Chain A
């Protein structure tokens, strides 16, 4: 499983003085579904084009099973690309689109017919086999493009935003389909998407890309729960970012303080010097809410506002609910804490909905040491 199929070494490509890709290093393992995720314009499509040979790199090497294919023309590469626009041949029927690459490979007609039928069945395209691309729906076109690329049984399939043009419902169904296909065929997939949810749900491993560089590579779980950098944390899901200064740093524990006397405690990732400033990330779903501590609240000397005495306990804060958006299975609460800090808190709607605070309520916030992620850079 961990055998390296494709390796990129110092690969880079610029257009004029705009750097589109890298230089970057990456290893793709055989059999994995690798997602490259990043905002549009981050260079992920260019990276795929470099891999497919449609664009020459400025520097770096591409190795396939240890063999250098950097200078191989596209028609000799052991991979296929599913284009974002599908690029189906408008003058050929669905059947002939799928057979195109097989005819080019000069397979026996019987073999071609058999493989095309298998592809039509695999992707549920039997009903529109003899229609032309403009006569079928967007979802069908997407499946034809996939079938055409898969028909050659490439060891590696590149997919450029394969679900981009589909509506939400179809996208979710197709996601399942892709995962099933990938597992069934054992083909290695490298999939490019701007949709973080898609990447998290599909990938066995993924990389977050920004400005031509890979910010972090890992499993979706690793990247979501332990983002290495601020950009990664912000790109994947919602996050509370806290700027803090190191107070004390031991082997296991890091203690810092943020504006408004907020005390924070996290597992220390590395040796940090007191006085150093850093960013911490906290996912909205990691925060627990409690009715505001009455003993503190009833203190007549305290204002009922965001600027009250600090809660001395680490990883605790108090605030006022300023907004609630109801999102079906969960709600997002905007809470203004000390020093006008804006907290985003996610509350599941499956339990104790009657306890959901209302706008204007005072609430206490707390979270575990494990939930705090120290971000690099």
Chain B
């Protein structure tokens, strides 16, 4: 008696072995209304991970996929194929919406969860001003006029020249600078906050991307190793004082803080400095707590959790995939708000309920573009370069509001009225970064968030963290050998051991075995990047 499979096979793609990082074939299957990526390494066996918790949403997202834009320059050549040629290689499908410069590996925290594997470490590196300028120049050469550069680390605020780096970015055609920080220095050094505030000016915004995971003490201890609640509040208040716009960025891990999403949004809506919240399922690259790849959080899980925790404000349908990258990578919604949560006159209106976002961002079915100008505005809003506090995002919000129909109805100019409300518009971003388990080259090839390396490459963020580029760059910069990091997955316990930085690496026997098994170049199967 023949039996049917318990899954629907929907994609054939490439990934990597999470242990030895060789390139392997992979398949995507739908099972129990969820989406899984499965692959097999000849040496380390089969691996499977959840990549999207809602199969219907995954399939529906396919139409929100726009043609990529070709960058002005590529930094590498196509030689071995994706993901070994980063980057950007001429086969890359998208330019860089967002460039990231990691200024150091050192940090004033040693968080149990850190994709960058940073901390109080003696053998890391910090870039010089000359290196930073070169990295910025590479970004500008590739983009012409760039939207946003983000300084990250490590902890960028402890780099002595961080303000010089901001100045260097502002001296170039880069519209906005984001500072990705844990907030410790913002909480204690008001002169530093003031210096950032002075640099935040029209046409050259400086915005704060503040790590903010929740309100339970346990959340802080398990994710950050310390109770940082008071520090976060002081950092926020100090930013508000000098007019800096803040995004609250939450790393969300199952069983730790997924119950706090609604509270984080509410807190953001109530604080004058905060204009957006970004939820990121914990990236199981670098250092993290043990996890099960089959039950990890994905974008659709976060969307459903937000809708469940604040049904008075959200439905899952308020979120739309971002078409510039692969649509399953990132989803966004915008809110118009008035008043303070809890107060009687408080109101929240998700913008997609006022405007048919789907119709404008549908690049597949829709052959009559309803209005190219509205589409262009929405493209900039549903983009990895959209950040509250930047001129581009503000202007596009006003433009989208102006697109509301019935401009002349009833003597009420609704678009104009809504445009006034965009001053308090609020953005919610949900971004699931890929890790060595979930990596799918299909998504990687259209990634628009790039790590700018000191040697002048633009490497897709998830390739940088998963494939071995982060380790490669650290080794080059610090002169200290760095082994490839392996996810701390429960199923891999027998194959992994501790790295000096708190992450996990393959036991040496596995490593050596994998190196002998490198496949011939031509097949692009089984070849390591290093």
Does A pair with B? no
Which residues of A pack against B, CB within 8 Å?
A: none
Which residues of B pack against A, CB within 8 Å?
A: none
